[in-house]
Amino acid sequence: MSTGAPARVVLGVAGGIAAYKAAILLRLLAERHHCDVRVVPTAAALEFVGEVTWAALSGHPVATDVWQQAHEVPHVRLGQAADLVVVAPATADLLARAAHGLADDLLTSTLLTARCPVLMAPAMHTEMWEHPATQANVAVLRARGVVVLDPAHGRLTGADSGPGRLPEPEEIAAAAAALLPRRGDLAGRRIVVSAGGTREPLDPVRFLGNRSSGRQGYALAATAAARGADVVLVSANVEAPDPAGVRVVPVGTAEELRCAVLAACEGDGDGRADVVVMAAAVADFRPAAVAGDKIKKSHGPGAEDAAPTIELVRTPDVLAELVRTGAAEVVVGFAAETGDAEGTVMEHARDKLARKGCQLLVVNDVSGDRVFGREQTEVTVLDADGGVRALPAGSKTEVADSIWDVALNWSMRTREDRPAG
């Protein structure tokens, strides 16, 4: 979290055996994300974890029903004052009551009065999760803007196993952090992020592509929006829900991405975004010609080893063009590198930073499938002044926030200490 008053989080705990994991979540929210957490357990939740535990971990008295401190009107005030409401575990019963707008206890009353983001992490037996009634309730909540995580697969109560397990506290905390307000440290800034991997068609059914999932770019867009920025996300072939509060521009090829990023940087015509982050994996080459029909295998005697020769040409260097044209105050490049006989990962990355001319370069060591498709990641940020900063390993959301901290600091230096132009 950025400096300033801590975010105010209400942690609702429903009555399931997974309630004990909410204690770990509470510690993560308070210590890792520096939140001021108030716990609202249901009566059933207190059968699993007692009031004293919640009070000791949160540092606040625990409100358990609408009759306590009635003069403070807790069933209204808690929701009104919250920056985020997290419910973990969210049982089938809690999901049903929330979907139908019931206010029969302090937690459901808080949900009705909250005007902040709401995150729910379901936990229940597989049959309960898969029941049409539960699925309909989840659909209703999601349609209202509630973020409902899918439960994890794994061991449930007793010998049962399947979907319905509470996601791990670290995963819930990361999802919560993405929804937390960052006290506006990026407010008023226009940010452009590219994500995913471009695809260059060979024929109507084939293309040259890469293994980028787009998750890091999507995490960068989501966290920037949560911190108050006006964000445009240029998305190249990513299969993921659009981040909340972000304008998404879908593209396919490198040329389409180039045009969309440049247009987004121009915005209303001032020709300059505050920050552009090129997290997308843009193809370096494309076929010189695209076949109008599917390229067929050769058949007949001696044709078993025959294969067409594909001529390739270079695609536009979008990152270098953004720097050359001054499309943004701060240009952040990405480098997915492996070491080879000609140099180490960092040597290749420093060479790229020098060639491209961007202010910051985020370096991924992708040797041995270390990054692609993984939930956890680890990056190093190089800057144009020769600085090197290894960011703490974590989820893509946590790493995205760390990248924004570095970019924001560089942007402030640019505005305060560097000559114009």
Which residues are part of the catalytic machinery? 210
State how far the Cα of 303 lies from the Cα of 236, in Å rounded to an integer: 37
The answer to whether 186 and 227 are in contact (CB under 8 A) is yes
State how far the Cα of 332 lies from the Cα of 279, in Å rounded to an integer: 8
The answer to whether 23 and 206 are in contact (CB under 8 A) is no
Residues 6+ apart with CB under 8 A from 247: 231, 232, 233
DSSP 343: B
Q: Which long-range contacts (CB under 8 A, 24 or more apart) does 303-310 make?
A: 310/202
For residue 147, the one-letter residue type is V
The answer to whether 189 and 164 are in contact (CB under 8 A) is no
The answer to whether 66 and 105 are in contact (CB under 8 A) is yes
Residue among 112, 172, 113, 184 at smallest CA distance from 147 = 172
Residue among 59, 115, 58 at smallest CA distance from 85 = 115
One DSSP character per residue, 164-231 reads EEPPPHHHHHHHHHHHS--TTTTTT-EEEEEEEB--EESSSS-EE-----SHHHHHHHHHHHHTT-EE
